[in-house]
Amino acid sequence: MNSPENVMALARPWGCPPLRNVPILGDQYTSREFFDREWSSMWTKVWLLMGRSSELSQDGSYQMEEIGPESFIMIRQKDGSIRAFYNVCQHRGSRLLFNNEGISNEIVCPYHGWEWANDGSLSQVQDPEDFIDGNPCDDMTLVEVNCELFAGFIWINMDPECISLKDYLGPVWEEFEAYESHDWIRGPSSTVDVNCNWKVPQDNSCESYHLPSVHPQGLKWIEHSYKYCHFDWCEEGHNRMSIPMVTPSHSLTREELEVDDQLREMLEPWGLKAEDFEGREFETRQTVQSVKRETGSERGYQFDQLFDDQLTDAYHYNIFPNVTVSFAGSEYIGLQRMRPHRRDPERHYYDNFMYLSHGAAARIGATKPEERRFFKYGTDLMNREIADQDLAVSTGQQLGLSSRGYSGVRLAGQEGRVQRFHDVLDEYLEGSRP
Ligand code: FES
Ligand SMILES: [Fe+2]
């Protein structure tokens, strides 16, 4: 599975603890009982990527995000730190904020108007003398959760006893740091309400076996042969994949080789002409790497800590349980996050966010974060072809997963990361993690 070209992946192998091969059955995607076990034994104990710290630009800037039955407020403090609170009023339980982002002077509960300061303290209530146990402002605060910042993202953990985010991320930490992506700017971003279990697109994101059938348009600019890709997973529960890009696939025949329009678009920004690669199409990738290395910094890119293959290839990290961060040749991050619905196992919120590197943002003139769009699956498109194609197969798969005629997976070797994801989930459910 390892190509000699994947220098970086081979230089730092992740170890691949043995697979346990727990069964992966249809009812794990449909059953309310399984869904509830996931919530109590896993979601409430893991670090969750919930916000983007670089987008909280001033004192009082906040983001609000929901996951399962919970909702969290992440808010910039006067001292520059960010704190996270359950989005619930301590008077009688109303949700406090309903916007996904904004700037708050104070958080005013929509029900009886209690005023919560941005640091979670209670600053004002009506009729304080009417509380027999004393003024609530003297002893009540919002309920805080663990919050850490890394790679420009806000991570929270509901478990008061949790390990540090750095220990949780393991080898991911150092590899993300090398991209210096903490202030990459938000590009096209969508949240789609989809009728399938959160694990359906999560599984999809843990394998590239579907590339030839679901994303055939990539055949001439991204490797489709698993023999030239690298897959592994680490003790901490995460997995990764590197796929050569800016190259035709080795699954093409000699006669099929050409520089198509999409590959041409990857060459031209670097002053390279498609015609010059006729008959030597497999040299595009390394040529782009060389030109990027030579001229990238003057165009705003930061490559100092990256290996050559990271300048072109997809480095795709599945952070347990629900986030995929895919560095696309140091041009941008494609981030997918699957958030379970409040109570319906056959529904989730699929987030697809792009974060542009400085060089890519400069090239297209992007200066401020793009508006995040929200819609129900089927009413609109993300206008990101690959993500739209992935969701299109997810809803059909969900329908089949509840069939009496389906008895569980039969995985190819290159789908080992799917098995590993379910093995790790099972370890949470049985209590051997965290
Ligand atoms: S529930 Fe918030 S003030 Fe009453
Ligand atoms: Fe896909």
CA distance 216 to 222: 10
Segment 37-51, tens digit of pLDDT: 999 999 999 999 999
Predicted confidence at residue 2, as pLDDT, reads 41
Q: Which atom of ligand 1 is nearest to the CA of 110?
A: 2
Distance 424 CA to ligand 2 centre (A): 22
Predicted confidence at residue 7, as pLDDT, reads 54
pLDDT above 90 covers a percentage of the chain that reads 95
CA distance 380 to 384: 11
Segment 360-396, tens digit of pLDDT: 999 999 999 999 999 999 999 998 899 999 999 999 9
Predicted confidence at residue 219, as pLDDT, reads 92
DSSP assignment of 134-198 equals --GGGT-BPPEEEEEEETTEEEEE--TTPPPHHHHHTHHHHHHHTTT-TTPEEEEEEEEEESS-T
Average pLDDT for 347-352: 98
CATH second-level architecture of 48-161?
A: 3-layer Sandwich (2.102)
pLDDT above 70 covers a percentage of the chain that reads 97
Contacts of 83 (CB under 8 A, 6+ apart): 74, 75, 77, 119, 120, 144, 147
pLDDT greater than 90 at residue 155: yes
Instruction: Tell me the ligand closest to 97's alpha carbon.
Output: 1
Predicted confidence at residue 250, as pLDDT, reads 94
Sign of CA dihedral 213, 319, 369, 292: negative
Segment 328-339, tens digit of pLDDT: 998 999 999 999
Predicted confidence at residue 1, as pLDDT, reads 39
Pocket mutation for ligand 1, best pick of 96, 106, 107, 114 (most atoms within 8 Å of C-beta): 114
Mean pLDDT of the chain: 95
- Asked if residue 110 has its Cβ within 6 Å of ligand 1, the reply is no
CA distance 325 to 169: 13
pLDDT greater than 60 at residue 192: yes
Comparing CA positions, the residue from 317, 382, 283, 388 lying closest to residue 169 is 317
CATH 2.102.10.10 residue window(s) in the chain:
48-161
Distance 387 CA to ligand 2 centre (A): 7
Residue 275 Cα distances to 189, 255, 258, angstroms: 35, 16, 10
- Asked if residue 111 has its Cβ within 6 Å of ligand 1, the reply is yes
Residue 13 pLDDT grade (very low, low, confident, very high; cuts 50, 70, 90): confident
Instruction: Tell me the ligand closest to 213's alpha carbon.
Output: 2
* Nearest residue (CA) to ligand 1, atom 4: 112
* Nearest residue (CA) to ligand 1, atom 1: 92
Residue 168 pLDDT grade (very low, low, confident, very high; cuts 50, 70, 90): very high
Q: Which atom of ligand 1 is nearest to the CA of 112?
A: 3
Instruction: Tell me the ligand closest to 214's alpha carbon.
Output: 2
- Asked if residue 94 has its Cβ within 6 Å of ligand 1, the reply is yes
DSSP assignment of 306-375 equals --GGGGTSEEEEEETTTEEEEEETTTEEEEEEEEE-SS-TT-EEEEEEEEE-HHHHHHHT--SPPPEEEE
Predicted confidence at residue 11, as pLDDT, reads 63
Predicted confidence at residue 8, as pLDDT, reads 59
Amino acid at 259: V
Comparing CA positions, the residue from 251, 245, 238, 243 lying closest to residue 265 is 245
In terms of pLDDT, which residue wins out, 110 or 303?
Answer: 110
- DSSP-derived secondary structure letter, 28: G
- Asked if residue 92 has its Cβ within 6 Å of ligand 1, the reply is yes
CATH 3.90.380.10 residue window(s) in the chain:
7-45+163-430
Average pLDDT for 285-295: 96
Pocket mutation for ligand 1, best pick of 112, 115, 140 (most atoms within 8 Å of C-beta): 112
Segment 213-224, tens digit of pLDDT: 999 999 999 999
- Asked if residue 32 has its Cβ within 6 Å of ligand 1, the reply is no
Pocket mutation for ligand 1, best pick of 73, 85, 90, 94 (most atoms within 8 Å of C-beta): 94
* Token couple for 287: 């040529």
Task: Classify burial at 422, counting beta carbons within 10 Å of its beta carbon; exposed 0-12, middle 13-18, buried 19 or more.
Answer: buried
pLDDT greater than 70 at residue 249: yes
Bond from prior residue into 69 cis (ω within 30 degrees of 0): no
Is 7-45+163-430 assigned to CATH 3.40.630.30?
no
Predicted confidence at residue 160, as pLDDT, reads 97
